[in-house]
Each structure stands twice: as C-alpha cells, then as structure tokens.
Amino acid sequence: MPSVRRDWTVADVHALPDDGQRYEVIDGELFVTPAPSFRHQDAAATLYAILREYLKRESVGYAFIAPADVIFSNKRGVQPDIFVTPLVAGRRPEHFDDVKRLLLAAEILSPSSARADRVAKRTLYRDERVPAYWIVDLDARAVERSTPDEPRPEILIDRLDWWPEGASEPLIIDLSSYFGSVLGD
C-alpha cells in the first residue's frame, strides 16, 4: 500500500491541539516529541542560566528557553530547548516575530528526539547559517558542537567555548561541572 506523505506547514502545526506534545516542522516534515523529562528540563534550565549570566556581561544577545517558536519559513518552524537571538536595536526582542536569526541553538538529547536533533535540525541550522548548534548528550556526558561550515560535529567532553560575534570574551563552560550538577554527582 503506498504511503501518502503530507507536506506540513507552520500554520498546520499551529492548528494542532495543545496536548503537551512538541510539534515542529522541518522542510515540510512533522516532528512530534513528548513532553520532556525532569532530567531534560533540569539540563536545559541549567544551561539557560549559564547563558543568561554570560549575556548579562556580554550584551550581544538574549537567551530563551522552550517552548518558543523559531520560524525560519513556512516549512521550517522549530522549538529549540535553548536559543540565543541577537539584540534588536540594542534590546531583547519583544516578539518572536522579531527573531530573524539565531546566534546559538541548543538541544538536550532524548531518545525521542535523537533523529530530529542529530539529522534534521543539524541540517536546518547549517542551512540557516546559525553560527553554533549544540546537542547536549547527558548519557555520554558530551556536547556535539556544529557550525555552518563544518560537515561533522565536534565532540566535546571537557569544556565548551562559545565566542559570539561582538563579545569581548568567550563563554567557557566546564562540562564536568555542568554534567555533575545536572546529573547529581
């Protein structure tokens, strides 16, 4: 029996019920993931807090945490776990419609999101020229860092550096401390 593939749009996704699932569309394909686990949310909140503190010192962007729609086009709408937008006229964006590009997108890996995070989203963020994309793998205690110009991710286990355009100094995250905090070591 032939399968019929529906070509999803951001408008289609917005019409779906608010049922606790996360709905995203990448190049017309619908991705559905269940509500995140406690550990996932703790990892996201901890990373968000680190980014927010850094961005208070380095006024180059503003950090957000999911759920929040980032819409690149009618066929590309995602909800990164954590993302950083550039400032708009020197201030944080007031509306998500003001977000035209990202400085950073980060996902906390879970079994239900691995394919989307490692394949579809990595491709999307490369295509959209997002300067940094991080996949935080709690089980491996590693971060996969991708950039638009490098086809393979870099696997980091000791430290994660991020130096966004316009910043006077980099953010340096000690990954052993981060994973220890999140995983309760």
Q: What is the pLDDT of residue 138?
A: 96
Q: What is the mean predicted confidence (pLDDT) over 103-125?
A: 92
Asked if 113 and 34 count as a contact pair (C-beta separation under 8 A), the reply is no
In this prediction, residue 55 has a pLDDT band, given cuts at 50, 70 and 90, of: very high
The distance of Cα 36 from the centroid of its chain, to the nearest Å, equals 14
pTM of the entire predicted model: 0.90
Q: Is the pLDDT of residue 4 over 90?
A: no
With beta carbons less than 8 A apart as the criterion, state whether 134 and 154 touch.
Answer: no
In tens, the pLDDT along 8-52 reads 999 999 898 888 788 899 999 999 888 788 899 999 999 999 999
Q: Between β-strands 82-86 and 61-65, what pairing exists: parallel, antiparallel or unpaired?
A: antiparallel
C-alpha–C-alpha distance, residues 38 and 65, integer Å: 15
- What local confidence, expressed as pLDDT, does residue 5 receive? 67
> How far are the Cα atoms of 31, 69, 107 from residue 34, in angstroms, in the given order?
10, 16, 14
Please give the single-letter amino acid code of residue 112: S
Which stretch of 108-122, 147-161, 168-182 has the lowest confidence by average pLDDT? 108-122
Homologous superfamily, domain 36-183: tt1808, chain A (3.90.1570.10)
Q: Are 87 and 60 in contact (CB under 8 A)?
A: yes
